[in-house]
A and B are shown apart, each in its own frame.
Chain A
């Protein structure tokens, strides 16, 4: 069969695999819903949980579609569709694809279409390199969970604090990350510019390209985070009114969307590329 990155048969195989992954999610959802009934949990709260999770997912899922569009230019549609429907991300798939292709004197963005062999190497590197979590959870997940349960049985209050510490630890790391480019305020050159060099494809050639941004670029994520946090606080205040209690379901999706929307004018004001 003649190879093409968008061959219908690759679509078919990718579609079947995605259907299996979808079936796993449906299976666990039904299982958890049944258990919630047995435990006598309030069906209204369960419905609320589903609605919130679904609404909250929309914006990040659209971002995943954008990643698929980006990758599809070189890898065709079915491979990025599969890879980003299962564990993976734009940055991971790009690194994996380029590691596989550079070993064969090819690169993502190359004007020369991929051969079947190059495509095969890319799929193997992408698939194998991200397998860790998929098999490690079956291998040690139960032990890790049992450790938490034992902790809970020994000292329930400390177990709750321990769990909250994990959550806070993760949130603190991401809040720190939001500030990672703030130092550009004092590390910029004498013209107040920051140079960022990255590999790009220009006229079919892979090369290092330097772009310049104002020193305030690092403040963009900080301002976006602040807008989102203020929106969350406002939602919290409004929720106290009995008529607006329904807002609690939408507080996180609303602060996410308002933050994302604010990123557009904030980037224009503080982080627009400077053409030299």
Chain B
């Protein structure tokens, strides 16, 4: 029976076990704090703090899951939704790896490549953070230097400039319309600011799929 299970099925099985276990362990963190320091939550304040936060971030989380899972692949999804930093790190990392290896994200090779890229990125991130925490005293004055802050504030533009060139140049026919739409929306609709970009990803993706479908049917692609 065990031999019959495909690689993808085994990724889903293992991913489910890992993610649900990690979720349980993360939920145990506050429980441990409560038990060790013999303290109970302030229930009224907890509800007041929890309701607006959950309402906002569970909605964002649901949209992100549906949008990002088809892009990240199976293994990449389980890992990314535990380790975070999806749009600013894991997904660009996977996209770059797929593009560099010239494999389709839908193939098993693509699944393997994106998992390797995302797992490597997660491991390196965790290790750099450990190093940062250990060396926090000598590092704080360097990393908090005002002169360096603009560099870290502009990570996303610096990232998507390079990534954009790599991807748009290869798919320019389907890229022009969504880029123009997003430019017009972000420039002329004041409500669209940096906090709205996550919500605009599915809108932009659906629009691109619609454009691509029309071109595909007409034989343009």
Q: Are B148 and A89 in contact (CB under 8 A)?
A: no
**Proximity string of chain A (160-192) to chain B, C-beta cutoff 8 Å, 1 when within and 0 when not:** 111111111111111111111111000000000
Interfacial chain A residues near B25, Cβ < 8 Å: 17, 20
Contact A133 B33, beta carbon cutoff 8 Å: no
B42 & A117 in contact (Cβ 8 Å cutoff) = yes
* CB interface residues, B 181-217, toward A, < 8 Å: 181-183, 185-188, 190, 192-197, 200-209, 211-212, 216
Q: Taking A168-B174, A173-B182 as contacts, is the C-beta distance between A137 and B87 under 8 angstroms? A: no
Pick the contact of A72 from B10, B29, B136 — CB < 8 Å?
A: B136
> B174 touching A124 by the CB < 8 A rule?
no
Contacts of A50 in B (CB 8 A): 116-117, 120
For A127, the chain B residues whose CB sits under 8 A away are: 26-27, 29-30
Number of residues of chain A lying within 8 A (CB) of chain B: 155
Question: Which of A199-207, A208-216, A219-227 lies on the face that meets chain B?
Answer: A219-227
Within 78-119 of A, Cβ neighbours of B (below 8 Å) are at 81-82, 84-89, 91-92, 95-96, 99-104, 116-119
**Chain B: CB-nearest residue to A221:** B157
Residues on A with beta carbons closer than 8 Å to the beta carbon of B119:
25-26, 28-29, 32
Q: Does A238 contact B (CB under 8 A)?
A: no
The verdict on A68 contacting chain B, using a C-beta distance below 8 Å, is: yes
Specify the main secondary structure of chain B where it touches its partner. Answer: helix
User: B5 at the A/B interface (Cβ < 8 Å)?
Assistant: no
When distances are taken between beta carbons in the complex, the residues of chain A under 8 Å from B26 are 17, 86, 127, 131, 134
**17 pairs from A and B in contact (CB 8 Å cutoff):** A1-B38, A56-B93, A66-B143, A89-B84, A103-B49, A104-B45, A125-B53, A137-B81, A140-B66, A165-B205, A167-B95, A170-B71, A170-B201, A177-B182, A180-B187, A221-B154, A259-B158
A197 interface residue (CB < 8 Å to B) = no
A172, A226, A256: which contacts B179 (Cβ < 8 A)? A172
B29–A123 CB distance below 8 A: yes
Residues of A within 8 A of B124 (CB): 53-54, 57-58, 61
Question: B108 to A39, Cβ gap below 8 A?
Answer: yes
Do A259 and B157 have beta carbons less than 8 Å apart? yes
Q: Is the CB of A65 within 8 A of B123?
A: no
Q: Are A176 and B157 in contact (CB under 8 A)?
A: no
With both beta carbons as reference points, the residue of chain A lying nearest to B44 in the complex is identified as A103
Known A95-B53, A170-B87, A180-B187; judge A121-B41 contact (CB<8 A).
Answer: yes
Closest to A125 in B: B49
Interface residues of A in 7-58 (CB under 8 A from B): 9-10, 13-14, 17-18, 20-22, 24-29, 31-33, 35-36, 39, 41, 45-46, 48-50, 52-54, 56-58
Q: How far is the CB of A119 from chain B (nearest CB, A)?
A: 7
Closest 8 CB pairs of A and B: A132-B61, A259-B158, A176-B182, A228-B161, A169-B205, A255-B162, A65-B132, A87-B84
Separation of A136 and B148 alpha carbons in the complex (Å): 38
Return chain A residues, CB-CB under 8 Å to B122. 21-22, 25
A59 on the B face (CB < 8 A): yes
Known: A65-B128, A104-B42. A53 touches B117 (CB 8 A): yes
Q: Which residues of B contact A181 (CB under 8 A)?
A: 193
* CB <8 Å contact, B57 and A129: yes
Inter-subunit contact B45/A21 (CB<8 Å):
no
Kindly report which residue of chain A lies nearest to residue B217, judged by CB atoms.
A158
- Closest-CB distance, A171 to chain B (whole angstroms): 5
Question: Are the CB atoms of B208 and A172 closer together than 8 Å?
Answer: yes
